[in-house]
């Protein structure tokens, strides 16, 4: 692609600050896909590459210390993910995309509810802060944000929830 644009890439880039993969790379079982650092901050945490997962250099080095060779990596391509950490419930939202990677026209309200209903451990056992949920969905920045605590009684809906 670069060569076609008149900007051919070198066959080898030596280690150092100009290496686009940063200080460390993880090979995955998928040919051509890596988890790696970067010599540029642009594109980290975004869908800007051809499938690689770019991380801040300090984070990829920290991950390298934590994950031994052979660690299973699960790639989850879902726009809305719920998780629990430290007794708190989090929501992570990304821009929904179609099969070609283009932004998708999707009913975000329905998509968030469907993602929540897939989590049997959460669906009927928490009280969500819907104002925060709306903000997380609107931001679509991939950052997990606390939205609820499990074990709380569900709130009664006094007004409809509308996502934009």
Catalytic (active-site) positions? 36, 52
| Residues 6 or more apart in contact with residue 59 via CB below 8 angstroms | 37
Instruction: Go through 61-85 and write b for each residue having 16 or more CB atoms within 10 A of its CB, e for each that does not.
Output: eeebeeeeeeeeeeeeeebbbbeee
Strands 53-54 vs 34-36: parallel, antiparallel or unpaired: parallel
Phi, psi of 33, rounded to the nearest 5 degrees: -110, 135
Measured in residues, the chain has a length of 164
Q: How far is CA 4 from CA 1, 52, 66, 93, in A?
A: 5, 21, 39, 35
Q: Following CA atoms 2, 29, 37, 95 in sequence, which dihedral angle do they give, to the nearest 10 degrees?
A: 80
């Amino acid at each position: 692609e670069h060569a076609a644009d008149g900007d051919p890439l070198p066959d080898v880039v030596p280690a150092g600050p100009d290496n686009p993969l940063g200080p460390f790379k993880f090979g995955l079982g998928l040919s051509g896909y890596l988890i790696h650092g970067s010599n540029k901050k642009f594109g980290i945490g975004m869908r800007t590459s051809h499938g690689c997962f770019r991380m801040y250099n300090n984070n990829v080095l920290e991950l390298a210390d934590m994950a031994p060779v052979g660690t299973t990596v699960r790639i989850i391509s879902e726009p809305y993910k719920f998780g629990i950490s430290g007794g708190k419930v989090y929501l992570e939202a990304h821009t929904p995309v179609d099969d070609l990677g283009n932004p998708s026209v999707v009913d975000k309200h329905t998509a968030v509810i469907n993602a929540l209903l897939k989590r049997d451990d959460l669906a009927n056992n928490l009280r969500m802060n819907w104002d925060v949920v709306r903000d997380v969905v609107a931001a679509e920045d991939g950052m997990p944000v606390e939205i609820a605590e499990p074990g709380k009684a569900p709130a009664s809906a006094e007004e409809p929830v509308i996502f934009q």
